[in-house]
Amino acid sequence: MSRQRPTSDASPSAVLPHSSAALSPSRRTVVKAAAAGAVLAAPLAAAVPARAATAAPAFLHGLASGDPLPDGVLLWTRVTPSPDATPGSGAGADTPVEWVIATDRALSGVVARGTVTATAASDHTVKADVRGLRPATDYFFRFTAGGVHSPVARTRTAPAADAAVTGLRFGVVSCANYESGYFSPYRHLAGRGDLDAWLHLGDYIYEYASGDYAFGGVVRPHRPEHEILSLADYRMRHARYKTDPDLQALHAAAPCVAIWDDHEIANDTWSGGAENHTEGAEGTWEARRAAAKQAYFEWMPVRPAIAGTTYRRLRFGKLADLSLLDLRSFRSQQVSSTGGAVDDPDRTLTGRAQMDWLKSGLSASDTTWRLVGNSVMIAPFSVAQLPEFVREPLGELLGLPDLAISVDQWDGYTADRKELISHLRAGSIRNTVFLTGDVHMAFANDVPVNATTYPLTASAATEFVVTSVTSDNLNDYVGVAEGAITSVAAPAIRTLNRHVKFVDTDQHGYGVFSVTPERAQMDYYRVSDRTDPAATSHWVRSYRTLSGTQKAERTYDPV
C-alpha cells in the first residue's frame, strides 16, 4: 500500500489434522477455528523466549513449507549454529542440517530424507526441494542440526494435474506491519486445521524505521530500528518477523504461497526506484533492491520461477490453476497526477514478458477456475466525490493528497488493464478470479469491461481483496472507533463504483478462500483488536462468484 515518506527523518504448537475432504458450509468450522486459536496462543507466546535462551544450534525462526506441487514441496528453516550467528551477522560456521519428511507426525513413516548445509552466505537459511511425493497428501517434516531437533511441521502436496478435485481451501492474507500489532490473523488461520495452503499477497515485512509507519503507535518494536537498506538489515527484519509465534504457527500448519509487493523492498517500488528510497544518501537503488530480493529468497519458502522475480504458476488438479504476479520488478514509475499519463500505452505494470506469460496461461488453462495472485487492486476505484473528511485521510494513506485514483494500483496503468480485460473477453475466458491485498481494506468486486457503463455492460472477472493483518486502516489513521469511517465511506464508495459489491475500510483480519467446481467464495474475517495478542476472530461477510457468471454476489454462510 502506498504511503508518502515521512518528512522526519517458537516453536509452533501441535496443529490440528487436515480435514478438507468436504467443504461443508458450516459455522461450526468458524467456532472451532476460534477455539483452536485460543488454545494455541499461550504455549506459542512463551515458546520463542524459552528457545532463544537454549544453547546452539537452535531453530529459533520456525519451519515453513511452500509452493506445493503434485509430487513435491519446498521445505525451509533457519538454524542458529552458535550464539554469535545472529541473522545478518555473517558469523557462524557451516552446519550440516538433516531433513526428514514422513506421512505421520511421529515421523515413523519416513518417505524421504536428506542433508543440506547452512552457511553464512545464505544467512544460515536452508531449503530442501523435495520431490517424489504423492499428490494431495499430508506430510510432516523436521530438521536436525548437531543432534538438536526442530519441531515437527505439517505440509501438503497439490492434487495431481489431472485429478477431479471437489474442493480446495486457502487462507489469504496481506500487509503485516510488525510494529502495528500482533499477528492474531495468522494464529486463527493456523488453528483451523483445514487449509490446503495459504496465500500471502505481499507486504510480508515493512522496511520503515521504527515509528515511521504506525499511526496508532508502536505496539512492539521491530529490528533493526532504522530503515532497512543493506543485506544485513533486510535479513534482520525478516528474522524479527519469523520469531513471531503466530507466524511460526501458520507456517507450521500449511504450505505458504507468497508474492511480494513493495514493502519487501521499499514503498512504491518500481523498476528503477521507489518513493521510499533516496539515491546516494541511501546507496544505489540497484544495490538496495538486490539486497532486499536476496534476503527475501533466503528467508521465504518460495521458488523463483525467473531469477529475481516472484511470478510463477501452480496447478491444483482440474479445479484451479494459480498465476502469481510480480507487479514491482518491471513496472514503469507511478505518475504524479491523475492526468492522461495513466493511459500512456508505453507505460507498464507487468512488463511485456509477464503480460504475455499471463495471457497465454489464461488462454491455455483447462481448469475450471483461473486464479490470479495479484498484489494491487485491478478493479477501478474512484473516490473523488467522497466526503472531504474521508477523502483527505484516504489520500494521505494511499500517498495521494489530491486523490481521485490510486496510481500505484492497476488504475495507474490502464493500458495494461485494458489489454488483459480485452484478452479475457476476446478469448471467452471465464471463471477468472483475482485475489488481492495491498489497500488495507476488504473488497468484493466485479472487474468491469467499462466501469462508466457498468452494470449495463459486462464484467470480465471477479476480485476479492483482503484487508491488512495489522497495517493501518482509515480508522487507525483518523483515530476514530472501528466502523465509524466504513459506515460513511462504504455507501459512497459503492455509489461511485457500481462494480464494488462490498467494502470495509476499517477492519483488520484475513480471508478464507474456498473453491469448488460450482463456485469460488471468499469469507472475510475480522480480529477484535490488533493490539491484543489474544485477539478473537469472527466472520464478517462472504461473497462468491458462481461458475460462468463473472460476478460477485453475497452469500450468508462461511464455508
Domain 55-160 indexed as CATH 2.60.40.380: yes
Residue 273 has pLDDT above 70, yes or no: yes
Same fold, 27-54+167-555 and 55-160: no
* CA distance linking residue 223 with residue 229, whole number of Å: 13
In three-state form (DSSP H/G/I as H, E/B as E, the rest C), the secondary structure along 78-90 is ECECCCCCCCCCC
DSSP-derived secondary structure letter, 484: H
**Predicted confidence band at 340 (pLDDT cuts at 50, 70, 90)?**
low
> Residue 101 in contact with residue 130, Cβ under 8 Å?
yes
* Residue where the block lists cell 547452512: 118
Question: What pLDDT, on a 0 to 100 scale, did the predictor assign at position 400?
Answer: 55
Residue 46 has pLDDT above 60, yes or no: no
**Predicted confidence band at 4 (pLDDT cuts at 50, 70, 90)?**
low
**Predicted confidence band at 478 (pLDDT cuts at 50, 70, 90)?**
confident
* Structure-block grid coordinates of residue 488: 460513511
In three-state form (DSSP H/G/I as H, E/B as E, the rest C), the secondary structure along 433-480 is EEEECCCCCEEEEEEECCCCCCCCCCEEEEEEECCCCCCCCHHHHHCC
Q: What is the pLDDT of residues 100-126, one digit of tens each?
A: 999 999 999 999 999 999 999 999 999
Q: CA triplet 163, 166, 167: central angle to 5 degrees?
A: 110
Residue 268 has pLDDT above 80, yes or no: yes
CATH of domain 27-54+167-555: 3.60.21.70
Specify the pairing of strand 369-374 against strand 320-324. Answer: parallel
Question: What pLDDT, on a 0 to 100 scale, did the predictor assign at position 200?
Answer: 98
Find the DSSP H helices in 472-524: 474-478, 484-496
* CA distance linking residue 185 with residue 525, whole number of Å: 9
* Residue where the block lists cell 458462481: 546
Q: What is the pLDDT of residues 59-106, one digit of tens each?
A: 999 999 999 999 999 999 999 999 999 999 999 999 999 999 999 999
**Predicted confidence band at 493 (pLDDT cuts at 50, 70, 90)?**
confident
517 Cβ partners below 8 Å, 6+ apart? 166, 319, 368, 547
Residue 26 has pLDDT above 60, yes or no: no
Domain boundaries, the chain: 27-54+167-555, 55-160
315 Cβ partners below 8 Å, 6+ apart? 70, 158, 161, 321, 322, 367
Cα of first residue to Cα of last residue in the chain, in angstroms, is 29
Question: What pLDDT, on a 0 to 100 scale, did the predictor assign at position 34?
Answer: 41
Q: What is the pLDDT of residues 164-208, one digit of tens each?
A: 999 999 999 999 999 999 999 999 999 999 999 999 999 999 999
Question: Quick check: helix, strand or coil at residue 266?
Answer: coil
Question: What pLDDT, on a 0 to 100 scale, did the predictor assign at position 55?
Answer: 63
DSSP string, 154-175: EEEPPPPTT-----EEEEEE--
DSSP string, 313-338: EEEETTTEEEEE---SSSPPPPPSSS
Q: What is the mean pLDDT of residues 140-161?
A: 98
